[in-house]
Structure 1
Protein backbone atom coordinates (compact mmCIF):
# COMPACT_ATOMS: atom_id res chain seq x y z
CA UNK A 1 0.00 0.00 0.00
CA UNK A 2 1.37 3.40 -0.96
CA UNK A 3 1.82 6.42 1.27
CA UNK A 4 -0.99 8.16 -0.59
CA UNK A 5 -3.32 5.20 0.12
CA UNK A 6 -2.63 5.37 3.84
CA UNK A 7 -2.87 9.14 4.06
CA UNK A 8 -5.07 10.64 6.68
CA UNK A 9 -7.67 12.79 4.95
CA UNK A 10 -9.66 13.84 8.01
CA UNK A 11 -7.65 17.05 8.29
CA UNK A 12 -8.27 17.96 4.65
CA UNK A 13 -11.66 19.57 5.25
CA UNK A 14 -11.43 23.27 5.87
CA UNK A 15 -7.90 23.76 4.59
CA UNK A 16 -6.98 27.17 3.25
CA UNK A 17 -5.05 27.19 -0.03
CA UNK A 18 -2.96 29.98 -1.52
CA UNK A 19 -2.51 29.37 -5.25
CA UNK A 20 -0.55 31.67 -7.56
CA UNK A 21 -1.31 31.75 -11.28
CA UNK A 22 -4.83 30.58 -10.40
CA UNK A 23 -6.64 32.24 -13.28
CA UNK A 24 -5.84 29.53 -15.82
CA UNK A 25 -4.18 26.22 -16.58
CA UNK A 26 -2.85 24.09 -13.74
CA UNK A 27 -3.38 26.83 -11.16
CA UNK A 28 -7.07 27.05 -11.97
CA UNK A 29 -7.34 23.25 -11.83
CA UNK A 30 -5.68 23.16 -8.40
CA UNK A 31 -8.02 25.86 -7.09
CA UNK A 32 -11.12 24.13 -8.44
CA UNK A 33 -10.12 20.73 -7.06
CA UNK A 34 -9.50 22.20 -3.60
CA UNK A 35 -12.87 23.95 -3.63
CA UNK A 36 -14.68 20.80 -4.71
CA UNK A 37 -13.30 19.14 -1.58
CA UNK A 38 -14.85 21.85 0.57
CA UNK A 39 -11.64 23.80 1.17
CA UNK A 40 -11.17 27.54 0.86
CA UNK A 41 -8.89 29.12 -1.71
CA UNK A 42 -6.99 32.36 -2.08
CA UNK A 43 -6.74 32.53 -5.86
CA UNK A 44 -3.97 34.93 -6.84
CA UNK A 45 -3.26 35.98 -10.40
CA UNK A 46 -2.22 38.95 -12.51
CA UNK A 47 -5.82 39.20 -13.74
CA UNK A 48 -8.70 37.84 -11.66
CA UNK A 49 -11.50 38.34 -14.23
CA UNK A 50 -11.58 34.64 -15.12
CA UNK A 51 -12.04 33.74 -11.45
CA UNK A 52 -15.48 35.36 -11.17
CA UNK A 53 -17.30 32.17 -12.15
CA UNK A 54 -15.32 30.10 -9.66
CA UNK A 55 -16.08 32.59 -6.89
CA UNK A 56 -19.79 32.56 -7.75
CA UNK A 57 -19.92 28.75 -7.69
CA UNK A 58 -18.26 28.62 -4.25
CA UNK A 59 -19.59 31.71 -2.52
CA UNK A 60 -17.60 32.75 0.54
CA UNK A 61 -14.82 30.23 -0.05
CA UNK A 62 -12.85 32.05 -2.75
CA UNK A 63 -10.76 35.15 -2.26
CA UNK A 64 -9.52 36.31 -5.66
CA UNK A 65 -6.62 38.74 -5.37
CA UNK A 66 -4.61 40.43 -8.13
CA UNK A 67 -0.93 39.62 -7.76
CA UNK A 68 2.26 40.13 -9.71
CA UNK A 69 4.66 37.66 -8.09
CA UNK A 70 7.66 39.69 -9.25
CA UNK A 71 6.61 42.51 -6.90
CA UNK A 72 8.06 41.44 -3.54
CA UNK A 73 6.25 44.10 -1.51
CA UNK A 74 3.02 43.27 -3.33
CA UNK A 75 3.43 39.57 -2.52
CA UNK A 76 3.85 40.27 1.19
CA UNK A 77 0.80 42.55 1.17
CA UNK A 78 -1.40 39.97 -0.57
CA UNK A 79 -0.30 37.18 1.75
CA UNK A 80 -1.05 39.36 4.78
CA UNK A 81 -4.50 40.10 3.39
CA UNK A 82 -5.13 36.41 2.73
CA UNK A 83 -4.14 35.44 6.28
CA UNK A 84 -6.32 38.17 7.72
CA UNK A 85 -9.30 37.11 5.60
CA UNK A 86 -9.24 33.36 6.27
CA UNK A 87 -7.28 33.32 9.54
CA UNK A 88 -4.30 31.40 8.20
CA UNK A 89 -2.89 29.28 5.39
CA UNK A 90 -2.44 25.52 5.10
CA UNK A 91 -1.33 24.78 1.53
CA UNK A 92 0.69 27.17 -0.62
CA UNK A 93 1.05 26.34 -4.31
CA UNK A 94 3.73 28.27 -6.19
CA UNK A 95 2.31 27.76 -9.65
CA UNK A 96 2.75 31.10 -11.45
CA UNK A 97 5.19 30.77 -14.31
CA UNK A 98 6.05 31.78 -17.85
CA UNK A 99 7.92 30.12 -20.70
CA UNK A 100 10.44 31.96 -22.84
CA UNK A 101 11.56 29.94 -25.84
CA UNK A 102 14.86 30.44 -27.60
CA UNK A 103 18.44 29.32 -27.96
CA UNK A 104 20.73 30.48 -25.16
CA UNK A 105 22.78 32.69 -27.49
CA UNK A 106 19.65 34.54 -28.59
CA UNK A 107 18.42 35.80 -25.22
CA UNK A 108 18.70 39.47 -24.42
CA UNK A 109 19.42 40.45 -20.85
CA UNK A 110 15.84 41.66 -20.39
CA UNK A 111 14.39 38.39 -21.72
CA UNK A 112 16.63 36.25 -19.50
CA UNK A 113 15.87 38.29 -16.40
CA UNK A 114 12.11 38.21 -17.06
CA UNK A 115 12.19 34.41 -17.10
CA UNK A 116 13.97 34.26 -13.76
CA UNK A 117 11.89 37.04 -12.17
CA UNK A 118 8.64 35.09 -12.50
CA UNK A 119 9.66 31.44 -12.22
CA UNK A 120 12.37 31.77 -9.57
CA UNK A 121 12.13 35.07 -7.73
CA UNK A 122 8.33 34.99 -7.71
CA UNK A 123 8.37 31.67 -5.87
CA UNK A 124 11.09 32.97 -3.55
CA UNK A 125 9.03 36.01 -2.56
CA UNK A 126 5.93 33.91 -1.92
CA UNK A 127 7.93 31.47 0.18
CA UNK A 128 9.41 34.27 2.25
CA UNK A 129 5.99 35.86 2.74
CA UNK A 130 4.14 32.71 3.87
CA UNK A 131 6.83 31.12 6.04
CA UNK A 132 6.37 33.34 9.12
CA UNK A 133 2.67 32.41 9.18
CA UNK A 134 3.30 28.70 8.65
CA UNK A 135 6.10 28.64 11.24
CA UNK A 136 3.85 30.30 13.79
CA UNK A 137 1.26 27.56 13.29
CA UNK A 138 3.98 24.87 13.07
CA UNK A 139 2.22 23.31 10.11
CA UNK A 140 1.62 23.77 6.41
CA UNK A 141 2.69 22.48 3.03
CA UNK A 142 4.46 24.46 0.29
CA UNK A 143 4.06 22.89 -3.14
CA UNK A 144 6.50 24.13 -5.78
CA UNK A 145 5.30 23.55 -9.34
CA UNK A 146 8.45 22.79 -11.30
CA UNK A 147 8.64 21.09 -14.69
CA UNK A 148 9.95 18.27 -16.79
CA UNK A 149 12.46 20.93 -17.87
CA UNK A 150 14.12 20.64 -14.46
CA UNK A 151 15.13 17.06 -15.24
CA UNK A 152 17.60 18.30 -17.81
CA UNK A 153 18.35 21.06 -20.28
CA UNK A 154 16.80 20.84 -23.73
CA UNK A 155 17.37 22.95 -26.88
CA UNK A 156 15.23 26.12 -27.01
CA UNK A 157 14.01 25.77 -23.40
CA UNK A 158 17.36 26.26 -21.69
CA UNK A 159 16.45 29.49 -19.93
CA UNK A 160 13.18 27.99 -18.74
CA UNK A 161 15.12 24.98 -17.46
CA UNK A 162 17.54 27.32 -15.68
CA UNK A 163 14.65 28.94 -13.81
CA UNK A 164 13.24 25.57 -12.76
CA UNK A 165 16.65 24.15 -11.79
CA UNK A 166 17.10 27.21 -9.58
CA UNK A 167 13.65 26.73 -8.08
CA UNK A 168 14.42 23.12 -7.22
CA UNK A 169 17.77 23.94 -5.62
CA UNK A 170 16.07 26.56 -3.49
CA UNK A 171 13.26 24.15 -2.62
CA UNK A 172 15.60 21.40 -1.44
CA UNK A 173 17.21 23.81 1.02
CA UNK A 174 13.83 25.24 2.00
CA UNK A 175 12.51 21.76 2.80
CA UNK A 176 15.32 21.20 5.31
CA UNK A 177 15.00 24.67 6.82
CA UNK A 178 11.22 24.44 7.21
CA UNK A 179 11.02 20.87 8.52
CA UNK A 180 11.88 21.71 12.17
CA UNK A 181 8.79 23.95 12.22
CA UNK A 182 6.44 21.25 10.93
CA UNK A 183 6.26 22.81 7.46
CA UNK A 184 6.49 20.44 4.49
CA UNK A 185 7.86 21.25 1.03
CA UNK A 186 7.25 19.26 -2.15
CA UNK A 187 8.49 19.77 -5.70
CA UNK A 188 6.02 18.71 -8.39
CA UNK A 189 7.48 17.95 -11.82
CA UNK A 190 4.68 17.85 -14.42
CA UNK A 191 4.90 16.78 -18.01
CA UNK A 192 2.64 18.21 -20.72
CA UNK A 193 -0.86 19.44 -19.93
CA UNK A 194 -3.41 21.28 -22.04
CA UNK A 195 -2.78 24.74 -20.64
CA UNK A 196 -1.91 27.97 -22.44
CA UNK A 197 1.74 27.86 -21.36
CA UNK A 198 2.88 27.28 -24.93
CA UNK A 199 0.37 29.57 -26.62
CA UNK A 200 1.27 32.42 -24.25
CA UNK A 201 5.01 31.91 -24.35
CA UNK A 202 7.40 34.52 -25.65
CA UNK A 203 10.19 33.79 -28.10
CA UNK A 204 13.60 35.24 -28.82
CA UNK A 205 14.56 36.72 -32.17
CA UNK A 206 15.76 33.67 -34.15
CA UNK A 207 19.38 33.38 -35.18
CA UNK A 208 19.56 31.79 -38.66
CA UNK A 209 22.43 29.60 -37.52
CA UNK A 210 19.95 27.55 -35.48
CA UNK A 211 17.38 27.08 -38.26
CA UNK A 212 18.23 23.38 -38.87
CA UNK A 213 17.98 22.63 -35.15
CA UNK A 214 14.65 24.45 -34.91
CA UNK A 215 13.28 22.46 -37.83
CA UNK A 216 14.33 19.19 -36.22
CA UNK A 217 12.75 20.20 -32.91
CA UNK A 218 9.46 21.16 -34.55
CA UNK A 219 9.31 17.76 -36.25
CA UNK A 220 10.08 16.00 -32.97
CA UNK A 221 7.39 17.90 -31.06
CA UNK A 222 4.80 17.27 -33.78
CA UNK A 223 5.41 13.53 -33.59
CA UNK A 224 5.92 13.06 -29.87
CA UNK A 225 3.79 15.51 -27.89
CA UNK A 226 1.99 14.00 -24.88
CA UNK A 227 -0.47 16.31 -23.16
CA UNK A 228 -3.16 15.56 -20.58
CA UNK A 229 -6.06 17.29 -18.86
CA UNK A 230 -5.01 19.60 -15.98
CA UNK A 231 -7.59 17.80 -13.85
CA UNK A 232 -5.28 14.79 -13.62
CA UNK A 233 -2.46 16.93 -12.25
CA UNK A 234 -4.86 18.41 -9.72
CA UNK A 235 -5.94 14.95 -8.55
CA UNK A 236 -2.29 14.02 -8.00
CA UNK A 237 -1.64 17.20 -5.99
CA UNK A 238 -4.69 16.46 -3.79
CA UNK A 239 -3.18 13.05 -2.97
CA UNK A 240 0.17 14.72 -2.30
CA UNK A 241 -1.18 17.19 0.27
CA UNK A 242 -3.27 14.46 1.92
CA UNK A 243 -0.21 12.31 2.53
CA UNK A 244 1.15 12.02 6.06
CA UNK A 245 4.62 11.65 4.58
CA UNK A 246 4.71 13.57 1.28
CA UNK A 247 7.77 13.17 -0.95
CA UNK A 248 10.20 15.95 -1.68
CA UNK A 249 9.65 15.26 -5.38
CA UNK A 250 6.64 14.00 -7.30
CA UNK A 251 6.71 13.21 -11.02
CA UNK A 252 3.46 13.67 -12.95
CA UNK A 253 2.99 11.50 -16.01
CA UNK A 254 4.44 8.30 -17.44
CA UNK A 255 6.59 10.16 -19.94
CA UNK A 256 8.18 12.28 -17.20
CA UNK A 257 8.58 9.23 -14.96
CA UNK A 258 10.44 7.27 -17.65
CA UNK A 259 12.51 10.28 -18.68
CA UNK A 260 13.61 10.91 -15.08
CA UNK A 261 14.95 7.39 -14.76
CA UNK A 262 16.60 7.52 -18.18
CA UNK A 263 18.39 10.78 -17.39
CA UNK A 264 19.45 9.52 -13.96
CA UNK A 265 20.87 6.29 -15.42
CA UNK A 266 22.83 8.18 -18.09
CA UNK A 267 24.29 10.50 -15.46
CA UNK A 268 25.27 7.56 -13.27
CA UNK A 269 26.89 5.80 -16.23
CA UNK A 270 28.92 8.92 -16.99
CA UNK A 271 29.98 9.34 -13.37
CA UNK A 272 31.06 5.69 -13.27
CA UNK A 273 33.15 5.99 -16.46
CA UNK A 274 34.95 9.00 -15.01
CA UNK A 275 35.23 7.65 -11.46
CA UNK A 276 39.02 7.38 -11.52
CA UNK A 277 39.42 11.02 -12.59
CA UNK A 278 36.89 12.17 -10.03
CA UNK A 279 38.51 10.35 -7.12
CA UNK A 280 42.01 11.45 -8.13
CA UNK A 281 40.93 15.08 -7.77
CA UNK A 282 40.69 14.77 -3.99
CA UNK A 283 43.49 14.35 -1.45
CA UNK A 284 43.26 15.83 2.01
CA UNK A 285 46.17 18.09 2.96
CA UNK A 286 46.77 20.39 5.94
CA UNK A 287 45.40 23.90 5.69
CA UNK A 288 47.87 26.15 3.86
CA UNK A 289 49.84 28.53 6.04
CA UNK A 290 49.48 32.26 5.55
CA UNK A 291 51.83 35.17 6.11
Structure 2
Protein backbone atom coordinates (compact mmCIF):
# COMPACT_ATOMS: atom_id res chain seq x y z
CA UNK A 1 0.00 0.00 0.00
CA UNK A 2 1.33 3.42 -0.95
CA UNK A 3 1.92 5.77 2.00
CA UNK A 4 2.45 9.51 2.25
CA UNK A 5 5.56 10.32 4.27
CA UNK A 6 7.09 13.61 5.40
CA UNK A 7 10.89 13.49 5.80
CA UNK A 8 12.86 16.36 7.34
CA UNK A 9 16.39 17.32 6.34
CA UNK A 10 16.45 15.95 2.79
CA UNK A 11 19.03 18.23 1.21
CA UNK A 12 21.69 15.51 1.63
CA UNK A 13 22.71 12.47 3.66
CA UNK A 14 20.28 9.96 5.09
CA UNK A 15 17.28 12.23 4.58
CA UNK A 16 17.91 12.52 0.87
CA UNK A 17 18.62 8.79 0.53
CA UNK A 18 15.44 7.97 2.43
CA UNK A 19 13.33 10.24 0.20
CA UNK A 20 14.65 8.53 -2.93
CA UNK A 21 14.18 5.05 -1.43
CA UNK A 22 10.58 5.73 -0.44
CA UNK A 23 9.73 7.16 -3.87
CA UNK A 24 11.34 4.15 -5.56
CA UNK A 25 9.03 1.91 -3.53
CA UNK A 26 5.94 3.77 -4.71
CA UNK A 27 5.33 6.15 -1.82
CA UNK A 28 4.53 9.86 -1.91
CA UNK A 29 7.26 11.81 -0.11
CA UNK A 30 7.11 15.32 1.28
CA UNK A 31 10.80 16.24 1.31
CA UNK A 32 11.51 19.25 3.49
CA UNK A 33 14.41 21.63 2.92
CA UNK A 34 15.34 24.82 4.70
CA UNK A 35 15.62 26.93 1.54
CA UNK A 36 14.29 25.13 -1.56
CA UNK A 37 14.13 28.34 -3.57
CA UNK A 38 17.63 29.46 -2.63
CA UNK A 39 20.70 27.55 -1.51
CA UNK A 40 18.84 24.21 -1.62
CA UNK A 41 17.49 24.81 -5.12
CA UNK A 42 19.65 22.14 -6.79
CA UNK A 43 18.72 19.53 -4.16
CA UNK A 44 15.03 20.43 -4.56
CA UNK A 45 15.23 19.94 -8.32
CA UNK A 46 16.89 16.53 -7.96
CA UNK A 47 14.33 15.40 -5.38
CA UNK A 48 11.33 16.38 -7.49
CA UNK A 49 12.87 14.51 -10.42
CA UNK A 50 13.32 11.33 -8.36
CA UNK A 51 12.67 8.21 -10.46
CA UNK A 52 10.22 5.57 -9.39
CA UNK A 53 6.53 4.88 -9.23
CA UNK A 54 6.18 7.25 -6.26
CA UNK A 55 6.70 11.01 -6.25
CA UNK A 56 8.52 13.63 -4.22
CA UNK A 57 6.96 16.95 -3.25
CA UNK A 58 9.37 19.56 -1.90
CA UNK A 59 8.32 21.89 0.91
CA UNK A 60 10.31 24.55 2.72
CA UNK A 61 10.70 23.84 6.45
CA UNK A 62 13.34 24.82 8.99
CA UNK A 63 13.11 22.69 12.14
CA UNK A 64 14.67 25.53 14.16
CA UNK A 65 11.62 27.76 13.71
CA UNK A 66 8.12 27.23 15.14
CA UNK A 67 6.62 29.37 12.38
CA UNK A 68 8.52 27.62 9.59
CA UNK A 69 7.51 24.18 10.87
CA UNK A 70 3.85 25.13 11.24
CA UNK A 71 3.78 26.71 7.78
CA UNK A 72 5.68 23.79 6.23
CA UNK A 73 3.38 21.14 7.67
CA UNK A 74 0.37 23.19 6.61
CA UNK A 75 1.72 23.48 3.08
CA UNK A 76 2.45 19.74 3.00
CA UNK A 77 -1.10 18.85 4.01
CA UNK A 78 -2.51 21.26 1.47
CA UNK A 79 -0.47 19.67 -1.32
CA UNK A 80 -0.76 15.97 -0.46
CA UNK A 81 -3.98 15.85 1.57
CA UNK A 82 -2.81 13.69 4.48
CA UNK A 83 0.24 12.16 6.13
CA UNK A 84 0.70 8.51 7.08
CA UNK A 85 4.19 8.85 8.53
CA UNK A 86 6.77 11.45 9.58
CA UNK A 87 10.52 10.84 9.65
CA UNK A 88 12.40 13.19 11.98
CA UNK A 89 15.82 13.14 10.34
CA UNK A 90 17.13 16.73 10.33
CA UNK A 91 20.19 17.00 12.59
CA UNK A 92 23.90 17.73 12.62
CA UNK A 93 26.95 16.57 14.56
CA UNK A 94 28.95 18.62 17.06
CA UNK A 95 32.13 16.95 18.27
CA UNK A 96 35.12 17.77 20.44
CA UNK A 97 36.08 17.34 24.07
CA UNK A 98 33.32 18.68 26.30
CA UNK A 99 35.17 21.73 27.57
CA UNK A 100 35.76 22.96 24.02
CA UNK A 101 32.01 23.08 23.26
CA UNK A 102 30.62 26.53 24.08
CA UNK A 103 27.23 27.10 25.63
CA UNK A 104 26.01 28.75 22.44
CA UNK A 105 27.14 25.75 20.38
CA UNK A 106 25.35 23.29 22.65
CA UNK A 107 22.18 25.38 22.66
CA UNK A 108 22.13 25.49 18.86
CA UNK A 109 22.74 21.74 18.63
CA UNK A 110 19.90 20.95 21.01
CA UNK A 111 17.60 23.40 19.23
CA UNK A 112 18.13 21.55 15.95
CA UNK A 113 18.49 17.94 17.08
CA UNK A 114 15.98 17.83 19.95
CA UNK A 115 13.65 20.83 19.88
CA UNK A 116 13.44 20.48 16.09
CA UNK A 117 11.76 17.07 16.20
CA UNK A 118 9.51 18.29 19.00
CA UNK A 119 8.36 21.18 16.81
CA UNK A 120 7.60 18.82 13.94
CA UNK A 121 5.75 16.34 16.14
CA UNK A 122 3.59 19.06 17.70
CA UNK A 123 2.73 20.34 14.24
CA UNK A 124 1.69 16.94 12.83
CA UNK A 125 0.03 15.33 15.84
CA UNK A 126 -3.31 17.15 15.55
CA UNK A 127 -3.62 15.66 12.05
CA UNK A 128 -2.54 12.16 13.11
CA UNK A 129 -4.75 12.23 16.21
CA UNK A 130 -7.74 13.16 14.06
CA UNK A 131 -6.98 10.19 11.81
CA UNK A 132 -6.37 7.91 14.82
CA UNK A 133 -3.30 6.46 13.16
CA UNK A 134 0.11 7.08 11.69
CA UNK A 135 3.80 6.60 12.38
CA UNK A 136 6.48 8.84 13.86
CA UNK A 137 10.08 7.79 13.14
CA UNK A 138 12.85 9.43 15.16
CA UNK A 139 16.40 9.18 13.78
CA UNK A 140 18.67 8.64 16.74
CA UNK A 141 22.16 7.13 16.46
CA UNK A 142 24.39 4.51 17.96
CA UNK A 143 25.67 7.56 19.85
CA UNK A 144 22.19 7.88 21.34
CA UNK A 145 22.87 4.78 23.43
CA UNK A 146 26.63 4.98 24.04
CA UNK A 147 28.70 8.01 25.03
CA UNK A 148 32.23 8.07 23.62
CA UNK A 149 35.17 10.48 23.98
CA UNK A 150 34.74 13.78 22.09
CA UNK A 151 31.12 12.95 21.27
CA UNK A 152 29.45 14.01 24.51
CA UNK A 153 27.49 16.93 23.03
CA UNK A 154 26.21 14.97 20.04
CA UNK A 155 25.42 11.95 22.21
CA UNK A 156 23.55 14.19 24.66
CA UNK A 157 21.30 15.38 21.84
CA UNK A 158 20.61 11.84 20.67
CA UNK A 159 20.10 10.49 24.20
CA UNK A 160 17.46 13.22 24.52
CA UNK A 161 15.83 12.14 21.25
CA UNK A 162 15.70 8.56 22.56
CA UNK A 163 13.90 9.64 25.74
CA UNK A 164 11.51 11.97 23.93
CA UNK A 165 10.59 9.33 21.38
CA UNK A 166 10.16 6.53 23.91
CA UNK A 167 7.77 8.62 26.01
CA UNK A 168 5.81 9.50 22.87
CA UNK A 169 5.56 5.80 22.03
CA UNK A 170 3.85 5.12 25.35
CA UNK A 171 1.58 8.17 25.15
CA UNK A 172 0.48 7.70 21.55
CA UNK A 173 0.00 3.92 21.48
CA UNK A 174 -3.56 4.19 22.91
CA UNK A 175 -4.37 6.66 20.10
CA UNK A 176 -3.31 4.21 17.41
CA UNK A 177 -0.13 6.14 16.51
CA UNK A 178 3.13 4.17 16.31
CA UNK A 179 6.55 5.53 17.28
CA UNK A 180 9.85 3.88 16.28
CA UNK A 181 13.44 4.91 16.94
CA UNK A 182 16.05 4.17 14.25
CA UNK A 183 19.67 3.99 15.43
CA UNK A 184 22.13 4.21 12.52
CA UNK A 185 25.75 3.36 13.12
CA UNK A 186 28.62 4.84 11.12
CA UNK A 187 27.72 5.39 7.48
CA UNK A 188 29.51 7.31 4.71
CA UNK A 189 27.21 10.33 4.61
CA UNK A 190 27.90 14.04 4.89
CA UNK A 191 27.19 14.02 8.65
CA UNK A 192 30.86 13.51 9.52
CA UNK A 193 32.10 15.82 6.78
CA UNK A 194 29.80 18.64 7.90
CA UNK A 195 30.27 18.18 11.64
CA UNK A 196 31.00 21.22 13.77
CA UNK A 197 33.98 21.17 16.14
CA UNK A 198 34.07 22.62 19.65
CA UNK A 199 34.99 26.28 19.22
CA UNK A 200 37.12 26.85 22.34
CA UNK A 201 40.35 25.35 21.01
CA UNK A 202 42.43 27.12 23.66
CA UNK A 203 41.62 24.32 26.12
CA UNK A 204 42.88 21.52 23.88
CA UNK A 205 46.61 21.38 24.79
CA UNK A 206 45.81 19.69 28.12
CA UNK A 207 43.67 17.04 26.45
CA UNK A 208 46.27 15.00 24.59
CA UNK A 209 45.19 11.65 26.06
CA UNK A 210 41.49 12.35 25.48
CA UNK A 211 42.17 13.39 21.89
CA UNK A 212 44.11 10.17 21.37
CA UNK A 213 41.10 8.23 22.66
CA UNK A 214 38.82 10.12 20.31
CA UNK A 215 41.04 9.27 17.35
CA UNK A 216 41.04 5.61 18.41
CA UNK A 217 37.23 5.66 18.40
CA UNK A 218 37.20 7.14 14.90
CA UNK A 219 39.66 4.52 13.66
CA UNK A 220 37.82 1.65 15.32
CA UNK A 221 34.36 2.56 14.05
CA UNK A 222 35.70 3.70 10.70
CA UNK A 223 37.31 0.31 10.11
CA UNK A 224 33.87 -0.84 8.94
CA UNK A 225 34.34 1.32 5.84
CA UNK A 226 37.18 -0.93 4.66
CA UNK A 227 35.29 -4.17 5.29
CA UNK A 228 34.54 -6.45 2.30
CA UNK A 229 30.91 -5.28 2.42
CA UNK A 230 31.11 -1.72 3.80
CA UNK A 231 28.05 0.03 5.24
CA UNK A 232 25.72 1.62 2.70
CA UNK A 233 23.36 4.50 3.67
CA UNK A 234 20.66 2.75 1.67
CA UNK A 235 20.51 0.17 4.51
CA UNK A 236 19.12 2.87 6.79
CA UNK A 237 16.73 4.17 4.13
CA UNK A 238 15.41 0.68 3.48
CA UNK A 239 14.95 0.07 7.22
CA UNK A 240 12.88 3.25 7.45
CA UNK A 241 10.85 2.25 4.40
CA UNK A 242 10.12 -1.13 5.98
CA UNK A 243 8.86 0.59 9.12
CA UNK A 244 6.59 2.76 7.00
CA UNK A 245 5.23 -0.31 5.22
CA UNK A 246 4.84 -2.47 8.33
CA UNK A 247 1.36 -3.12 9.75
CA UNK A 248 0.16 -0.62 12.34
CA UNK A 249 0.83 -1.74 15.90
CA UNK A 250 3.63 -4.10 14.87
CA UNK A 251 6.51 -1.66 14.47
CA UNK A 252 9.44 -2.12 16.86
CA UNK A 253 10.36 0.36 19.57
CA UNK A 254 13.97 0.57 18.45
CA UNK A 255 15.83 -0.56 15.36
CA UNK A 256 19.63 -0.56 15.24
CA UNK A 257 21.01 -0.38 11.69
CA UNK A 258 24.67 -1.31 11.92
CA UNK A 259 26.21 -4.65 11.02
CA UNK A 260 29.46 -3.88 12.83
CA UNK A 261 30.84 -3.53 16.37
CA UNK A 262 28.97 -0.35 17.31
CA UNK A 263 25.69 -1.96 16.28
CA UNK A 264 26.43 -5.02 18.40
CA UNK A 265 26.97 -2.84 21.48
CA UNK A 266 23.83 -0.80 20.80
CA UNK A 267 21.68 -3.89 20.36
CA UNK A 268 22.99 -5.25 23.67
CA UNK A 269 22.01 -2.01 25.43
CA UNK A 270 18.57 -2.06 23.77
CA UNK A 271 17.96 -5.65 24.87
CA UNK A 272 19.25 -5.03 28.38
CA UNK A 273 16.96 -2.07 29.06
CA UNK A 274 13.73 -3.20 27.40
CA UNK A 275 12.74 -6.02 29.76
CA UNK A 276 13.19 -4.12 33.05
CA UNK A 277 11.53 -1.03 31.59
CA UNK A 278 8.53 -3.00 30.35
CA UNK A 279 8.31 -4.77 33.72
CA UNK A 280 8.30 -1.44 35.54
CA UNK A 281 5.49 -0.10 33.36
CA UNK A 282 3.47 -3.27 33.92
CA UNK A 283 4.03 -3.03 37.69
CA UNK A 284 2.75 0.54 37.55
CA UNK A 285 -0.41 -0.62 35.81
CA UNK A 286 0.54 0.95 32.46
CA UNK A 287 -0.11 -2.10 30.28
CA UNK A 288 -1.95 0.10 27.75
CA UNK A 289 1.34 1.75 26.86
CA UNK A 290 2.87 -1.65 26.05
CA UNK A 291 -0.05 -3.26 24.19
CA distances 1:48-67 after superposition (whole Å, capped 9, x unpaired): 32131221245993221222
Runs of 4+ residues deviating >4 angstroms: 261-267
C-alpha separation in 1, matches of 2:122 and 2:162: 15
Structure 2 equivalent of residue 287 of structure 1: none
Matched, 1:56 2:55: no
TM-score normalised per structure 1:
0.82
- Deviation track 1:37-79 (CA, whole Å, cap 9, x = no partner) reads 1211111122432131221245993221222101012101100
Aligned with residue 175 of structure 1, among 169, 178, 191: 169
1:128 aligns with 2:112: no
- Please report how far the alpha carbon of residue 215 of structure 1 lies from its aligned counterpart in structure 2 after TM superposition: 2.5
- Give the alignment partner of residue 191 of structure 2, picking from 197, 213, 224: 197
| Aligned twin of 1:281 | none
Whichever of the two has the greater Rg, that structure is 1
CA distance in 2, matches of 1:169, 1:36: 32
TM-score with structure 2 setting the length: 0.82
Secondary structure at the aligned position of 1:192 is classed as coil
How far, CA to CA, are the matches of 2:271 and 2:116 in structure 1? 32
- 2:211 alignment counterpart: 214
The CA distance in 2 between the partners of 1:129 and 1:218, in whole Å, is 40
Find 1:257's aligned residue among 257, 263, 274: 263
Q: Tell me how far 1:257 sits from its aligned partner.
A: 3.3
Structure 2 gaps of 5+ residues are: 226-230, 274-291
Is 2:119 the partner of 1:119?
Answer: no
Equivalent residues, number:
257
Q: Give the Cα–Cα distance (whole angstroms) in 2 for the partners of residues 37 and 177 of structure 1.
A: 30
Q: Distance in 1 between matches of 2:169 and 2:85?
A: 14
1:21 aligns with 2:12: no
The answer to whether the aligner puts 1:230 opposite 2:224 as a matched pair is: no
Q: Once the 2 structures are TM-superposed, how far is the Cα of residue 181 of structure 1 from its aligned partner? A: 1.8
- CA–CA distance in 2 between the matches of 1:89 and 1:115? 27
Give the distance between the partners of 1:122 and 1:265, measured in 2 at CA.
28
How far does residue 252 in structure 1 lie from its aligned partner after superposition?
A: 0.5
> Whole-Å Cα distance in 2 between the matches of residues 185 and 262 of structure 1?
21
Would the aligned equivalents of 2:142 and 2:263 in 1 still touch at CA under 8 Å? Answer: no
CA distance in 2, matches of 1:265, 1:41: 32
